[in-house]
Amino acid sequence: MRKLLSATAVALVMVAAGSSLAQQSAAIPNPANAYREVKDDNVMVPSLKRTVGQLDDMDVMGPDGTKIGEVEEVLMDASGQPVAVVVDVEHGVGIGDKEVIVGLDQLRDDGRALTTALTNAQLGTLPIWDD
């Protein structure tokens, strides 16, 4: 009887954990579908202290100081807040010709360009923007 109760308890825990994981996975939106392009060049991106228009075509530099690409779009979330940029990654980075979504929290403005600590390998794992 104890074995049956133990087995039932283990099964219930596993079902609950699986259900919880499925709910968490479903709650994570696909970033490409969760964002929209900011159309107004005058919108301020507070974390970078620049407008959308100022960020357009701005160079993005990697951790070693080499250019990895440039900003193509600024993206906002459902609430209308700028949260990410689309970086057109250059061929020399080694991940192919891609436009990837980089969160604003991964970028710093050094006065002349945006910099990131993301490595080429990390850039290759970022979501692709396909407008």
- What spatial distance separates the first Cα and last Cα of the chain, rounded to whole Å? 60
What domains, with CATH codes, occur in the chain?
Answer: 36-124 (2.30.30.240)
CA 64 to chain centre: 21
The pLDDT of residue 9 is above 60:
no
Q: What is the largest CA-CA distance in the chain?
A: 72
Residue 103 near residue 83 (C-beta atoms within 8 A)? yes
**pLDDT digits over 55-90, tens only?**
999 999 999 999 999 999 999 999 999 999 999 997
pTM: 0.72
Q: Which amino acid is at 42?
A: N
